[in-house]
Chains A and B, each alone.
Chain A
Amino acid sequence: MGVGIDVRGLRAWFGKFEALHDISMHIRPNCATAIIGPSGCGKSTFIRCLNRMHETVPDAGVSGQVLVGQRDIYGNGSSAVEVRRRIGMVFQKPNPFPTMSIYDNVAAGLKLNGVRNRRLVDEAVERSLRSSALWDEVKDVLKKKSGASLSGGQQQRLCIARALAVEPEVLLMDEPASALDPISTSKIEELIFSLKEHYTVVIVTHNMQQAARVADYTGFFLLGSLIEYDETKKIFTTPGDKRTEDYITGRFG
């Protein structure tokens, strides 16, 4: 089951440049939340703060609180490694491990966690590949084909399966379909609908129609600030802030 994420006063910077100013929002469990905004508004930075990937960039820093299921991931007792085990991420450009087979890719996280039992791993691999709607396409070549030999859309679904295999509580998706063709994109969007049931999904997208299609809630970012955050329906039909309205109607960005 998914958990909620409570963001309180989040600030993030790259060296001297402050990319996020005082973000506060509550992301509801078992929902899909979309983060939209023009290029450079900080949406990727924001999502990367949710699983402590932001700090892997040199000179990058964060302050504030992010509570995932009541525990502050930036708190004293938390380690970045543990946070990332609980929160999965799918990147813009599919990045399966090219030297590993499909099976090994999905099992990678499990192996790291010390799951040795062959049967358990097999089950988890099948379960994850079914959840990411890739099972039928690859079930016969699991160990024969490498992760990189699949098409772009399949690779991305493989990455989703890889992230799901370790049973995270949250799944973060940073523009997961922007590098894919329309058919793969719609497959991924369908996926998000089914994923919502078990996970909390946060998806960054520059495609507003996509946000409107898949997300229950949407947050609009502009120049590092959260301008408006509400039910998707409301954002796209009666936005409260003029800047939101301008963006939605295509006046900029």
Chain B
Amino acid sequence: MRNKANHLRRNLADAIATSAAALAVIVVLVPLAAIFIYLVIKGIGSLNWAFLTHTPAPVGEQGGGMANAIAGSFMILGLASLIGVPLGIGAGVYVAEYGRSWLSKYIRFTADVLNGVPSIVIGIAVYGLVVMRQGHFSALAGGVALGIMMIPTICRTTEEILLMVPRSVREAAYGLGIPQWRCTVSVTLRTAISGVITGIMLAFARVAGETAPLLFTAFGNQFWNWNPNQPTAALPLQIFTYAISPFEEWHQQAWAGALVLVALIVGTVTLVRVVTRRGMFRGA
């Protein structure tokens, strides 16, 4: 049973397996590197002050920028946060604090389900809920769509974080005669606030890059718009429109916009991951 050939074969299998796995890592990281490199190479050229402050130039002309798209994105994301953050935190608090009720199980399950709904489907639903009723596209509709997408992430993170606050902290508060709700707000939440914030940041980063749900809610706009009830430009939307267009100048602008978008999103995710070791998939 202890023969040399067997040992050699097994060691060889071990070496092959390790090499194959290492190769898989390289194969996976190559596109990552390629994307970042191309973003920088192709985007940095068109990224200038004009890009960040001007609206799109007419077709065929050089120059212009995506200032309205960047601003529009912030407006839409702001609206989204108004919806997503309170509802997400509220639901998360409910599930954490009143976890034993039958309702909590349904909430958790529903949040998971909602998380898995394709973003384009959410776009369709919000189109029916808001756009059709209003008769026009709007930043508000876009905000509703993105806000809905933020809820599951924030709810889950809030719940997890609150559950991590040790019982001793709550019991100390109860011992002092503080009612449960007050305890939750003042004691538990305060201890957990940094975790809740990182959850919000991750949710924010995730929806900031979403295009599909905005296609027929915010719809996009070539000009400045500060009215939430009007179609509004958004950075991902603009990138999409420019990328599939036949104009070379627009392609360049698309790369620049992509660079800005990725910098913001990846920057946020990196910050959160490095500071808290809380990743996009764990607790998010």
Please indicate the chain A residues that have their CB under 8 angstroms from the CB of B101 in the complex: none
B168 at the interface (CB under 8 A from A): no
B3 (CB) vs chain A CBs: closest residue: A114
Q: Which residues of B contact A115 (CB under 8 A)?
A: 1
| A-chain residues with CB within 8 Å of residue B3 when the two chains form the complex | 114
Q: A113-B1, A113-B2, A167-B1 are in contact. Are A82 and B7 (CB under 8 A)?
A: yes
Number of A positions contacting B (CB below 8 A): 10
Are B7 and A166 within 8 A (Cβ)?
no
Contact with B along A105-123 (1 / 0, CB 8 A): 0000010111100000000
Is B133 on the interface with A (CB-CB < 8 A)?
A: no
Q: List chain A residues, Cβ under 8 A from B1.
A: 110, 113-115, 166-167
Instruction: Tell me, in angstroms, the Cα distance from A81 to B3 when the chains sit together.
Output: 14
CB-CB nearest in chain B for A112: B10
The answer to whether the Cβ of A84 comes within 8 Å of any Cβ in the partner chain is no
Q: Contact between B10 and A85 (Cβ–Cβ < 8 Å)?
A: no
- The distance in angstroms between the C-alpha atoms of A167 and B7, with both chains bound, is 17
Instruction: With both chains docked as a complex, state the minimum distance between the C-beta of B8 and any C-beta of chain A, in angstroms.
Output: 11
Q: How far is the CA of A202 from the CA of B62 in the complex (A)?
A: 82
Highest count of chain A CB atoms <10 Å: which of B1, B3, B9, B10: B1
With the chains together, A31 CA to B254 CA distance in Å? 78
- Determine the residue in chain B with the shortest Cβ distance to A120: B1
Q: How far is the CB of A81 from chain B (nearest CB, A)?
A: 8
Scan B1-29; emit 1 where CB is below 8 A from any A CB, else 0: 11100110110000000000000000000
Bound-complex Cα distance A241 to B2 (A): 44
Q: Which chain B residues border A85 with CB–CB below 8 Å?
A: 2
B10 cross-chain contacts in A, Cβ below 8 A:
81, 112, 114
Q: Add 7 more A-B contacts to A85-B2, A110-B1, A114-B3 (CB < 8 A).
A: A113-B1, A113-B2, A114-B1, A114-B10, A115-B1, A166-B1, A167-B1
Q: List 16 A-B contacts (CB under 8 A).
A: A81-B10, A82-B7, A85-B2, A110-B1, A112-B10, A113-B1, A113-B2, A113-B6, A114-B1, A114-B3, A114-B6, A114-B9, A114-B10, A115-B1, A166-B1, A167-B1
Those 5 A-B pairs whose CB atoms lie nearest each other, nearest first: A114-B6, A113-B1, A113-B6, A115-B1, A85-B2
